[in-house]
Structure 1
Amino acid sequence: MLILVRHGQTDANARGLLLGRADPPLNQTGYHQACALAASLPKPDRIVSSPLTRARHTAAVLAGARPGVVDVDQVELDERWIEMDYGALDGRPASALDDGEWLTWREDPDFVPAGGESLTEVCARVHEACEELAEDAARRDVVVVSHVSPIKAAVTWALGVDHEVGWRMFLIDAAVCRIDTSGRVPLLLAFNGACSAGEANQLVGRRA
């Protein structure tokens, strides 16, 4: 099973700011969310993480690290799972863009925020990473701790749909998504699962 986990909350997330390559840590709520994830998910066979601190901290908790311990051997870092580069928009509120700019961003997957990265570029690197993990995830649980845009990109990969479908998804903090890669095509089993203890285990990871 390919299990995609969004990192826990940061202060910037709580304030509704665009958070790309800026690198704040989890806040207290985010740490508690990571602990709830660790309690609700089976101990993963393999953990892959974005290199950003908020993802690494979440992954470390899932790997069973002691409080205050971040870098553990069980966590693999993969740059392809890093958040979209928002360029000059990083750390700013969504209102920094006017309606026309938002429309352009939504309709043109090649649109690049000033100094940033396009949705096409995000999807290319994430889809490549998904293809590489698919065979392993067909045999055992592979957890990827990442961010909103890469996880949405992974879901579009699983569904075989165009990039712009990602704009119709909303991903909560510490959300869990599950993709079964054991069949002829990937199968999305769960999207936006909450991190409360026990809830994730109610999801059945098998094809009908």
Structure 2
Amino acid sequence: MADETVFFLLRHGETALTAERRFSGSGGADPALSERGRGQAGQVAGAAVLEAVEAVVSSPLARCLETARPVADRLGLPVTVADGLRETAFGAWEGRTFAEVRERFPAELDAWFAGPAAAPPGGESFDDVTSRVAAARDELLAAHRGRTVLLVSHVTPIKTLVRLALGAPHEAVFRMDLAPASLSAVAHYPDGNASVRFLNATAHLA
């Protein structure tokens, strides 16, 4: 459809916390990309599928901005920031591994898995994240109607955008895998429908 709006969804490259599989949200440290992550950002900038991109929008966190800049530079585009694309604030879980959280916060972790209204201590629930991500999506759709846009974000916001496009239940976020610097794509149509074009593509990193 001529008026479709396509969002390419790019997860940021690796950080030291990514490599150690630690909770890394928007409520704690703001780590930069690791050396490997910077290499991934350079690789994704060369992905042929991104040649159609007409605008680049990033989470405000450093790892996303670092990932966005090589693509934007290659395309000759500025990077704009959308706060709604930031990662979940994980509160007391920030910087901890899953095993550490399981040991120290077992009841809270069980509740977090059980339903989207539960939040890590001092952090955001999935319901909170869904509300702001959906609002950011709607703002971006209004601003970029009919264009192809690269959104550089994090695991939870990207999974949420895909889940909403599919009309899938909350549990779907636990059934998707997103590698660092992976690409996904969602098309939105004027009648309000959406379709997922692809998920977790990593061929550009080979």
TM-score band, normalised by the shorter chain?
0.7 to 0.9
SS of 2:51's equivalent?
coil
- Count of matched residue pairs: 192
Code of the residue aligned with 1:82 in structure 2: it is: R
SS of 2:92's equivalent?
helix
How far did residue 91 of structure 1 move?
Answer: 0.6
Question: Which 5+ residue runs of structure 2 have no aligned equivalent?
Answer: 1-5
Picking from 183, 186, 194, the partner of 1:186 is 194
Q: Which residue of 2 aligns with 1:202?
A: none
Whole-Å separation in 2 of the counterparts to 1:118 and 1:129: 17
Q: Which residue of 1 aligns with 2:162?
A: 155
- In the alignment, is residue 62 of structure 1 matched against residue 62 of structure 2? no
Whole-Å separation in 2 of the counterparts to 1:4 and 1:137: 15
Considering fraction of residues, name the structure with more helix: 2
Picking from 79, 82, 88, the partner of 1:84 is 88
Picking from 108, 113, 121, the partner of 1:114 is 121
Contact 2:8 2:151 in 1 (8 A): yes
Contact 1:84 1:122 in 2 (8 A): yes
Whole-Å separation in 1 of the counterparts to 2:32 and 2:195: 32
- In the alignment, is residue 2 of structure 1 matched against residue 4 of structure 2? no
Which stretch of the first structure deviates more once superposed, 51-60 or 155-164? 155-164
Whole-Å separation in 1 of the counterparts to 2:112 and 2:161: 19
How far did residue 51 of structure 1 move?
Answer: 0.4
Whole-Å separation in 1 of the counterparts to 2:169 and 2:9: 19
* Same amino acid, percent of matched pairs: 34
Q: Which residue of 1 aligns with 2:60?
A: 51
Cα–Cα, structure 1 residues 136 and 79, in superposed 2: closer, same or farther, change >3 Å? closer
Which stretch of the first structure deviates more once superposed, 44-53 or 128-137? 128-137
- 1:4-63 deviations in whole A, cap 9, x for unaligned? 100000011011111112201001111111111110121621111000000011111111
Code of the residue aligned with 2:16 in structure 1: it is: D
RMSD (Å), alpha carbons = 2.0
Question: Which 5+ residue runs of structure 1 have no aligned equivalent?
Answer: 66-71, 200-208
How far did residue 138 of structure 1 move?
Answer: 5.2
Contact 2:15 2:33 in 1 (8 A): yes
Q: Which residue of 2 aligns with 1:19?
A: 24
Picking from 95, 99, 105, the partner of 1:95 is 99
- In the alignment, is residue 132 of structure 1 matched against residue 136 of structure 2? no
Contact 1:80 1:129 in 2 (8 A): yes
How far did residue 153 of structure 1 move?
Answer: 0.8
SS of 1:16's equivalent?
coil
TM-score relative to the length of structure 1: 0.85
